[in-house]
Structure 1
Amino acid sequence: MFRCFFPDEYVDSTYVIDFEKLYQEGYRGLIFDIDNTLVPHGAPADTRAIALFRRLKKLGFGCCLLSNNQKKRVASFNDAVQVNYIENAHKPSVRNYNRAMEILGTNTENTIFIGDQLFTDVYGAKRAGIRNILVKPIDPKEEIQIVLKRYLEKIVLYFYEKEEGIS
């Protein structure tokens, strides 16, 4: 019933993902959500995010930020990390997931999406046919509409963890 929302992988943080292994497996494009995936909601790019993107570029990954936020927020974050970006993405619509792959010159076989929300990030990536990694939110302080979605996410994650044998 909830399988369309189940992530392909679920990890504690973006910063624990083994990107070297993903590169060895043939992945070349990484699409990221920003808020609560890379930094707390509304925060500027911090030294950890900047170092991550520097490392990813050095490995040979193409990276694109895909955010439902407006241009001012996304562009200001991107000023520090210097990758491709798409603002006002209307996730979970697949249109901009596909556009991100076009920008990166990748496809559904060699692209991964990383985000913190099931109903926008993961669902959109699944609809676009992209492998996805759900990360736990960095900061529990969120806008009210996201807080409400988190209650529903807990239900889906309960069934996901039960099916995966995670306790």
Structure 2
Amino acid sequence: MGIFTKYFLPNEYVQSIYTIKPEHLKEKNIKAIITDLDNTLVGWDVKDPTDEVRKWFEEMKENGITVTIVSNNNEDRVQTFSSTLNIDYIFKAKKPRGSAFRKATSLMQVNKSEVVVIGDQMLTDVFGGNRNGLYTIMVVPVKKTDGFITKFNRLIERRFLNYFKRKGYINWEE
């Protein structure tokens, strides 16, 4: 596997956050989650956590897994969503740059080997997590619609996904 695969291939690819179970994470010695917000937890246009999202966060908390939202979105968007869950967040994260990933890891007081990054974008979440030596799980986007920059990223991402499928590195259907 080359540099391309090292940085852009997620460790896992799943249908949604709901397929990520605390037992599975604990088997990998994961104690903390850095998760994206838009199109990972809810659609980019959904203001508040759904009951299902709340239940997932509670399940992680009950199992001793800390979650921090790291989003490239603005403070109002990320703070409004995160405050009702009573969790830490980082807004305008500038992913895939590493500072937000390091800050979140430090906030949660864990080693990077104990952190998983969960997100729907290969060019921000997976690339940023992999570059920083973190375990990465990519989810299928919650919504099919995106903002302009994300639409561009998805075009590139689609080529990467097709390449990984052809090479047999991943095996999934959207």
Same fold (TM over 0.5): yes
Q: Which amino acid is the alignment partner of residue 4 of structure 2?
A: F
2:80 pairs with 1:76:
yes
Distance in structure 1 (CA, Å) of the matches to 2:94 and 2:101: 10
Letter in 1 for 2:99: R
- AA aligned to 1:2 is F
Task: Pick from 36, 42, 45 the counterpart of residue 42 of structure 1.
Answer: 45
Among 25, 31, 46, the alignment partner of 1:22 is 25
Does the 8 Å contact 1:2/1:156 carry over to 2? no
Letter in 2 for 1:141: T
Question: Partners in 2 of 1:121 and 1:134 — Cα distance?
Answer: 8
Q: TM-score, normalised by structure 1?
A: 0.95
CA gap of 1:99–1:157, structure 2 versus 1, over 3 A, is same
**Do residues 166 (structure 1) and 142 (structure 2) align?**
no
SS in 1 for 2:143: coil
Which 4+ residue blocks in structure 1 deviate beyond 2 angstroms? none
Q: Provide the aligned length of Structure 1 versus Structure 2.
A: 167
Whether 1:6 and 2:9 are equivalent positions in the alignment is yes
Change (3 A) 1:8 1:165: closer
Aligned to 1:116: 120
Q: Unaligned stretches of 5+ in structure 2?
A: none
Percent identical pairs in the alignment equals: 30
RMSD: 1.3
CA distance 1:165–1:37, shift in 2 (3 Å): closer
2:142 counterpart of 1:142: no
Whole-angstrom CA distance in 1 between matches of 2:79 and 2:97: 21
The answer to whether residue 62 in structure 2 is matched with residue 53 in structure 1 is no
Query: Following the alignment from structure 1 to structure 2, what is the Cα–Cα distance between the partners of residues 113 and 166?
Result: 20
**With structure 2 as the length reference, what TM-score do the two structures score?**
0.91
Q: Please state how far the C-alpha of 1:147 moved relative to its aligned partner.
A: 1.3
Query: Could you list the runs of 5+ residues in structure 1 that have no partner in the other structure?
Result: none
Using the alignment, how far apart are the partners of 2:29 and 2:17 within structure 1?
19
